[in-house]
Structure 1
Amino acid sequence: MPLLPRRTLLSRCLALAGVSLLTAGAPTAQAAGPELRVITHASFDLPKPLLAQFEQEAGVKLVLIKAGDAGEMVNKLILTRAKPLADVVYGLDNTVIARAARQQVIEPYAGPAAQREAAATLGFGAVPVDYGHVTLNIDKAWFAQHKLALPKTLQDLTLPAYKGLLVVQHPATSSPGLAFLSATIAHLGEAAAFDWWKAMRANGVKVAKGWTEAYYTDFSKNGGKRPIVVSYASSPAAEVFYSKTPLGEAPTASLDIPGAVFRQVEGVALVRGGGQREAAGRFIEFLRSAPVQSALQTTMWMLPVEPKVARAEPIAKFSVDPTQFSNPTPEQLATQSAGWVKQWTRVVLK
């Protein structure tokens, strides 16, 4: 997600496994009741009043288990499937959903939210909640100062004029990094994509561990030396939203380059073997409710899948949707992405 400012023996075991156990907020008398355990990626963020309202209406105590990025979260579900650590999972996206289904750690949900029309779909029994686009972002001031035209194709980025300008995330440790790698493969084909990455290595591409390091350390907008970064189409709107001084326009822009855009869809599913099925279903419906679909736009900077929910003002005003995207199928991602990452490592880093 872009630009997020995102007790017992069990807690100690989860900490050793790299999982943080967090509650939704201070418990209230109304929220006292059985626990509903929700495992999420680290960027899960919704207003506390909304979470407290859900607790009150569902009669449960909400326990949020933040488990790293989507890939790490699936790994934890697999490792704990004999004794599930959660009842419901949010944050499964189209880079990992097929693997979660193949490993049988999720179950289909067939309630009303699963039957309604959605602006983006996910499949495998998960209910889509939000979507967004991983794409290249640029520092507008840097390009204006250097009087350099914006790249229009992937091949442009291999030219001498763009040497040393791009920072990407490692696809083994970053979901945006894997999404961007996947987009290049879907657009160019596997052989041509790795030829492109070889040319990018020669042209000085930098690899950061994750989105935070790339955006806040290497991106020239934030004091780094790279004016092109893999981020999200909603990042320019987030720049305006979080600015300490009012801005009339975003200082960054997203690029609509063929082969450099990946549509990421996130969803929610029941954890196989989990409990609290009625409350888990209510949580799934809650994530598709209009208040949540509105709120997530300026907390997690993703787009609502409910077609009738309006875009938040910052996103509507300062972000531009890409005209196209390049996605492998979920099955390809499930069966081939590990090999892609290994080959990418050999081509780009070794």
Structure 2
Amino acid sequence: MLLAGLRSPHPYESSTMKRTATPHLAAATALGLAVLAGCGGSGTDGSGSGGAPAAPPATVTLVTHDSFNVSDEVLETFTADTGFEVEILRGGDAGVMVNQAVLTAGNPQGDVLFGVDNTLLSRAVEGEVFQPYRAAGLDLVPEELRPAGDVPVVPVDTGDICVNYDRGWFAEQGVAPPETLDDLTAPEYRDLLVVENPATSSPGLGFLLATVAAYGEDGWQDWWRRLAGNGVEVVDGWEQAYYDHFSGASGGTGGGDRPLVVSYATSPPAEVVYGTGPEPEQAPTGVATGTCFRQIEYAGLLAGAANPEGGKALLDFLLGEDFQADVPLQMFVHPVREGVPLPEVFTAYGVEIADPYTMDPQAITEGRERWVTEWTELVLR
């Protein structure tokens, strides 16, 4: 989950953070999509009513979230190789994008959807958004990153939601930064952590899922009670947490007083990329590696796509070496294809999360709403 602008030391927020639309926005979206659906043809061959089927369009449409980014020269390579021009149709944040895709299932706005992650995947699958296609290059993706069973999507990138810490603050205070979830509830970290609300933020949801995975159904609530008692601060979204409350944000506007924040494992190299001045010996922020939840973003061929052949070619391209090598510095996530080297700034300033918390997408679907409701009762009321 992605560039939101040069201000962002981790731009994933704008695509995947504020996933929950307000009821008014959801209603407006549904109305607009109903109008769009009504304007479409009755078939998927582009021929309208009667007559011979039209020739396949020379354009393939990628439906994605607002912060999808790719280099122009990489897209030009796809066009040169396939003859298809790529039209990028951005559909808001990932949650709204998936809701739109469900509402238009079978009569989609494009050919390929990119940006549904493992917290939302089962919603799209149950909505019959996708049609099957096995992309070329899938065999070069590690088995643990592929969806289980016959889920008709391909993984494209991964990212880890983790607690970040302000190295300077902890050095000045002579306090060791936390490493694990258990550490965060210790007295020495009282009033130091800011997190995002899981009802309104994807990193907030990922962090909640990490605690459910770590402590189980019988233990996560107690952990959050202890964290709430230890002075955790809750805000709506990542930008507010990182820029206004986190003391280690180079682009911060409010001079934040919290040296711990829920962000991403790739935020430290992003701080270096977007920082000013000479290249530092180490990133100004670090990662508590025992707090991380693994996100995986997927793409799929939309059911009823007007240009299925172009869509298949685009899915092959998303797993190809050119696009996969472009992913890290465009969206600050990791490629899924084995053998694709990371940029030096990732290897020099980033950290590999060897054992992140994970959860089956179906388990997320079955528990998500209940966990968020219980979290709200525990932490906010």
TM-score normalised by L of structure 2: 0.80
Match of 1:139 in 2: 166
The answer for the alignment partner of 1:255 in structure 2 is 288
Count of aligned residue pairs for this structure pair: 329
Tell me the equivalent position of 2:182: 155
Is the counterpart of residue 183 in structure 1 residue 210 in structure 2?
yes
1:61-107 CA distance string (max 9 Å, x none):
42222223332221111122253122111112111112211121112
For 1:17, the equivalent position in structure 2 comes to 29
The one-letter amino acid paired with 2:120 is V
Aligned match of 1:346: 377
Retained in 1: the 8 A contact 2:62–2:86? yes
Structure 1 equivalent of residue 276 of structure 2: 244
Query: Which of 179, 195, 201 is 2:228 aligned to?
Result: 201
Does the C-alpha gap of structure 1 residues 110 and 155 become closer, same or farther in structure 2, counting only changes over 3 Å? Answer: closer
| Equivalent residue for 2:198, pick from 152, 168, 171 | 171
> Which of 94, 102, 124 is the equivalent residue of 1:100?
124
Q: 1:178: how far off?
A: 1.0
CA contact (8 A) 1:71 1:175 kept: no
Query: CA deviation digits over 1:314-349, x for unaligned, max 9?
Result: 111111112311112111012111111111111111
The yes-or-no answer on 1:282 pairing with 2:309 is: no
**Counterpart mapping for 1:67-78 below 5 A:** 67-78=91-102
CA distance in 2, matches of 1:305, 1:204: 37
CA contact (8 A) 1:3 1:238 kept: no
Instruction: Decide which structure has the larger Cα Rg and report it.
Output: 2
Residue identity in the other structure for 1:136 = V
* Residue 330 of structure 1: aligned partner: 361
Distance 1:296 1:82 in 2: 29
Q: Return the alpha-carbon distance in structure 1 between the equivalents of residues 228 and 92 of structure 2.
A: 28
Cα deviation, 1:102-140, whole Å, max 9, x if unaligned, reads 121112212323344437323412111111211111010
Q: Which amino acid aligns with 2:59?
A: E
Matched residues in 1 for 2:161 and 2:169: separation?
21
Asked if residue 306 in structure 1 is aligned to residue 337 in structure 2, the reply is yes
Give yes or no for the alignment of 1:210 onto 2:234: no
Give yes or no for contact 1:107–1:269 (8 Å, CA) kept in 2.
Answer: yes
Amino acid paired to 1:143? F
Deviation at 1:3, TM superposition (A): 6.8
CA RMSD of aligned residues (A): 2.3
Could you tell me which runs of 5 or more consecutive residues in structure 1 were left unpaired when the two chains were aligned. 7-12, 20-32
Once the 2 structures are TM-superposed, how far is the Cα of residue 144 of structure 1 from its aligned partner? Answer: 0.9
TM-score by length of structure 1 reads: 0.87
Q: How does 1:40-79 map to 2 (within 5 A)?
A: 40-79=64-103
Cα deviation for residue 41 of structure 1 reads: 2.1
CA contact (8 A) 2:272 2:279 kept: yes
Q: Percent identity?
A: 38
Quick one: distance in 1 between partners of 2:156 and 2:106? 27
Q: CA separation in 1, counterparts of 2:2 and 2:139? A: 29
Contact persistence 1:122–1:265 (CA under 8 A): no
CA contact (8 A) 2:235 2:241 kept: yes
| Alignment check: 8 A CA contact 2:3 2:330 kept | no
Deviation at 1:273, TM superposition (A): 1.8
Q: Could you tell me which amino acid in structure 2 is paired with residue 308 of structure 1?
A: G
- 1:4 is displaced (CA, Å) by 4.3
Q: Of 251, 257, 263, which residue of structure 2 is paired with 1:231?
A: 263
Of 146-155 and 187-196, deviating more is 146-155
Q: Deviations over 1:173-214 (max 9, x none)?
A: 221111111011011012311111122222221122222221
* Unpaired runs of at least 5, structure 2: 6-10, 12-24, 33-56, 250-254
Corresponding residue for residue 134 of structure 2: 110
